[in-house]
């Protein structure tokens, strides 16, 4: 009897959650297909895809996303590894630091960047290249909670100390141990953090808008002020990109992990 009630409420809340999530998306999709009166067409998608600003902004955000992922891995993988191995008591402090992007509003952060790097001795905002360096650093900070926690969860699933001692007993140095032993065991965790970081950069608005860079987020915001159907098409395309990222995570995480050396 108790099992039956549990199943009913589970089905009820599950259905309610699905309706809450998919009904607005269906409404947006339906609206995006009705640009031509009386017809269901992909006209709004054709206009968006033929817009050179869309291509430029999307390619810019993709490039910045790849750069951000690369820098984040270079920073957080060795840092987390070293904390687990040598400084485990420092881990609670690092966890607090990594959630600061959730606490400090992005608007406050971006004004701090402009005030600091918009005047001597740095002056990074005077050139596009300097601003790109600045915005890449900003993206790394904003995506820090996702990348750090993904690697942190991966580190928890393996015995870092045992694997390190085994590698060093076979003659491996710190770099070889990190690259050849630790990294292969964290590939799914790093991939998860990378794709979430990438999706965050693709949809980020405030940082790129205030630093006046041609990113995808400001493009979506600007087109929404003058047009009706194209923003709906962009929303569906962004939604599809996010689901594609999640699908890649699931596809790769279903791979054979039996050959991983976890130390446990």
**Tens digit of each residue's pLDDT (9 = 90 or more) over 230-257:** 888 888 888 887 778 777 766 766 655 5
Assess contact for 68 and 136: CB atoms under 8 A. yes
Query: For 71, how many CA atoms within 13 A lie in the half-sphere containing its CB?
Result: 20
> Tokens 């710190």, residue?
174
d(Cα 232, Cα 29) in Å, to the nearest integer? 7
- Given a cut of 90, is residue 71 above it in pLDDT? yes
78-133 residue pLDDT tens: 999 998 888 888 888 888 888 888 888 888 988 888 888 888 877 888 888 988 99
pLDDT, tens digit (0-9, with 9 covering 90-100), for 3-34: 555 678 888 888 898 898 889 888 988 988 98
Distance, CA of 255 to CA of 243 (rounded, Å): 19
């Amino acid at each position: 009897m108790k099992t039956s009630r549990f199943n009913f409420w589970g089905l009820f809340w599950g259905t309610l959650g699905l309706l809450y999530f998919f009904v607005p998306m269906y409404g947006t999709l339906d609206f995006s297909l009705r640009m031509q009166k009386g017809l269901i067409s992909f006209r709004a998608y054709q206009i968006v895809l033929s817009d050179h600003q869309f291509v430029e902004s999307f390619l810019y955000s993709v490039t910045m996303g790849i750069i951000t992922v690369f820098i984040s891995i270079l920073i957080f993988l060795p840092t987390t590894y070293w904390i687990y191995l040598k400084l485990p008591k420092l881990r609670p402090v690092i966890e607090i630091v990594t959630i600061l992007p959730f606490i400090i509003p992005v608007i406050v952060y971006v004004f701090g960047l402009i005030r600091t790097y918009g005047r001597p001795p740095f002056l990074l905002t005077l050139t596009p290249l300097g601003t790109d360096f600045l915005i890449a650093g900003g993206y790394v900070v904003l995506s820090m909670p996702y990348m750090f926690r993904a690697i942190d969860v991966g580190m928890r699933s393996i015995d870092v100390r045992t694997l390190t001692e085994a590698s060093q007993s076979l003659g491996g140095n710190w770099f070889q141990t990190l690259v050849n032993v630790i990294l292969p065991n964290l590939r799914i965790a790093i991939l998860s953090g990378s794709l979430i970081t990438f999706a965050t950069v693709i949809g980020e608005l405030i940082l790129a808008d205030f630093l006046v860079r041609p990113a995808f987020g400001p493009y979506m915001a600007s087109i929404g002020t003058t047009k009706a159907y194209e923003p709906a098409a962009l929303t569906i395309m962004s939604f599809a990109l996010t689901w594609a990222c999640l699908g890649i995570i699931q596809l790769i995480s279903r791979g054979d992990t039996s050959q991983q050396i976890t130390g446990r």
